Amino acid sequence: MLRPATPDDTDALVALTAGTGFFKPLELDALREVLDDFHAANADLGHRCFVWDDGGVLHGYVYHAPAPMTDRTWYLYWIAVDAALQGKGLGGRLLAFVERDVTEQGGRLLLIETSSTAHYEPTRRFYRKYGYDQPATIPDFYADGDGMVVFSKRLARPAE
């Protein structure tokens, strides 16, 4: 079942994220800070965080928020599924939930950033599978040889 994240979920979400094998220690530290800030104030600023809870066991989560200084553009900052459940559809369900939630919040465009390294090819395939365009790549963004790949999807048609 999908439910809003609580402060008590933080340790489990960081552990789940570490267990995917996709995130560096620095990124796990950043996730803890993001979740702490979410519970302290950012939820009041429109940030959204939801977890997939199966009887008290967290199997995945999403974190998305409006992009400042834009007209209804949103970012999907975090999406993760327990490594043992990857490839079984939960990631797609979580992404579909984000798209619906952003649309319900009035959003029109969803952006996602990820790494250009070979390690992240499954991640990039995942976004392409769900209809995301790749409008930009910034070489060497994260580090030499590790660029940023930006994905986007229009969720609402422009007003006529």
Q: What is the pLDDT of residue 156?
A: 75
* pLDDT value at residue 158: 61
Domains and CATH numbers, the chain: 2-112 (3.40.630.30)
Instruction: Give me the residues paired with residue 143 across strands.
Output: 146
For 108-120, the pLDDT digits (tens) are: 999 999 999 999 9
Residue 55: helix, strand or coil by DSSP?
A: coil
φ, ψ for residue 152 (rounded to 5)? -145, 155
With 90 as the cut, is the pLDDT of residue 159 above it? no
Model-wide pTM > 0.75: yes
Supply the DSSP symbol for 88: S
pLDDT of residue 57: 96
Which residues, 6 or more positions from 64, have their beta carbon under 8 angstroms from its beta carbon? Answer: 47, 48, 49, 74, 75, 76, 77, 98, 101, 102, 110
Tell me the backbone φ, ψ of residue 47, rounded to 5 degrees: -70, 150
Q: State both tokens at 151.
A: 């994905």
pLDDT exceeds 70 at position 160: no
